[in-house]
């Protein structure tokens, strides 16, 4: 596990019906979201221009009816680029579902200050290719975790659609940051959790997106799936440690197989949740 700086996270809310999500009261938030994203990306070229409308729609359908205070708001940003084959897609999809529902994670959640976390799960590949799987959802116990896992298993990538372009880690960080900006409650930590099997090779460079997320008080962690014929002198985990992760106590974990991936995810989540027993100190709130 590669250690770096560390950071704190924010909140979530419970799922709502389509009728509640479609209430006109949220239209103003969506307009603000689109303007905000457009403003942030201004001057950075047109490569992310499609994200504003696409992400606004995704967040709109995920807006919860009531804000909640949580110990951590975690965005799972999962690679579904052309290099993700069915086996790797299964590894990521099933791995996240299994980790969220594991007794160790449920116990870690319950032992924190609020006893709840907020999670969102989206998939990314080349620039402009973003797919929402699980909108902001509050997990306070086994039933919540099971419900979230069902959605991830049902809607997550299967690896059979292979025309999704390259690997834009910068886009993944930008989208993750914006989702954390828009979380309607408060959180003691805000984390972007990236899962990927490759380096940034599409869209904008990573450094500006990384620095922006860190400046907003967010932590970027990662779990990497190294290629079978990885160059031992240039391991993927080292690239992520050097160029992607950031924020207080950030880290990257390397997975070496199916069982190891789930174990690594559990270990990563437990580390991120920590033990927030003290009175809450909120960071990284949107302006």
pLDDT digits (tens, 9 = 90+) for 77-130: 999 998 888 999 999 999 999 999 999 999 999 999 999 999 999 999 988 889
pLDDT digits (tens, 9 = 90+) for 48-76: 445 555 555 444 444 443 568 999 999 99
C-alpha–C-alpha distance, residues 11 and 62, integer Å = 14
Is the pLDDT at 46 greater than 60? The verdict is no
Q: Name the average pLDDT for the chain.
A: 78
CB 118 within 8 A of CB 137: yes
Least confident of 52-66, 147-161, 165-179: 52-66
Tell me the two tokens of residue 161: 């659609």
E-strand stretches of 98-211: 117-124, 130-139, 186-187, 190-196
CATH topology of domain 2-273: Rossmann fold (3.40.50)
C-alpha–C-alpha distance, residues 139 and 105, integer Å = 11
Q: Are strands 186-187 and 69-70 parallel, antiparallel or unpaired?
A: parallel
In the three-class reduction of DSSP (H, G, I as helix; E, B as strand; rest coil), residue 220 is classed as strand
Instruction: Note the pTM of the prediction, 2 decimals.
Output: 0.78
Q: Domain spans of the chain?
A: 2-273
C-alpha distances out from residue 40 to 46, 181, 208, 255, Å: 12, 12, 11, 33
Which residues are CB-contacts of 237 (< 8 A; sequence separation ≥ 6)?
Answer: 2, 224, 226, 252, 253, 254
């Amino acid at each position: 596990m590669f250690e770096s700086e560390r950071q704190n996270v924010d909140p979530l809310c419970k799922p709502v019906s389509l009728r509640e999500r479609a209430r006109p009261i949220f239209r103003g938030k969506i307009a603000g979201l689109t303007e905000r994203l457009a403003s942030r990306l201004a001057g950075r070229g047109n490569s992310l221009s499609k994200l504003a409308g696409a992400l606004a729609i995704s967040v709109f359908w995920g807006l919860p009816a009531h804000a909640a205070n949580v110990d951590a708001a975690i965005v799972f940003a999962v690679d579904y680029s052309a290099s993700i084959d069915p086996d790797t897609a299964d590894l990521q999809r099933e791995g996240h579902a299994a980790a969220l529902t594991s007794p160790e994670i449920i116990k870690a959640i319950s032992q924190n200050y609020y006893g709840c976390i907020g999670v969102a799960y989206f998939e990314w590949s080349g620039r402009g290719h973003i797919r929402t799987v699980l909108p902001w959802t509050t997990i306070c116990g086994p039933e919540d975790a099971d419900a979230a896992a069902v959605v991830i298993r049902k809607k997550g990538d299967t690896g059979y659609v292979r025309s999704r372009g390259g690997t834009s880690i910068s886009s993944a960080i930008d989208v993750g940051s914006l989702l954390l900006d828009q979380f309607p409650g408060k959180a003691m930590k805000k984390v972007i959790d990236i899962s990927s099997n490759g380096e940034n090779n599409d869209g904008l460079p990573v450094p500006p997106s990384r620095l922006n997320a860190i400046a907003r008080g967010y932590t970027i962690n990662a779990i990497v799936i190294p290629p079978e014929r990885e160059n031992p002198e240039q391991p993927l985990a080292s690239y992520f440690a050097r160029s992607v992760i950031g924020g207080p106590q950030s880290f990257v974990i390397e997975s070496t197989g199916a069982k190891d991936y789930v174990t690594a995810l559990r270990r990563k989540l437990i580390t991120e949740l920590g033990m927030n027993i003290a009175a809450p100190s909120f960071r990284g709130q949107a302006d």
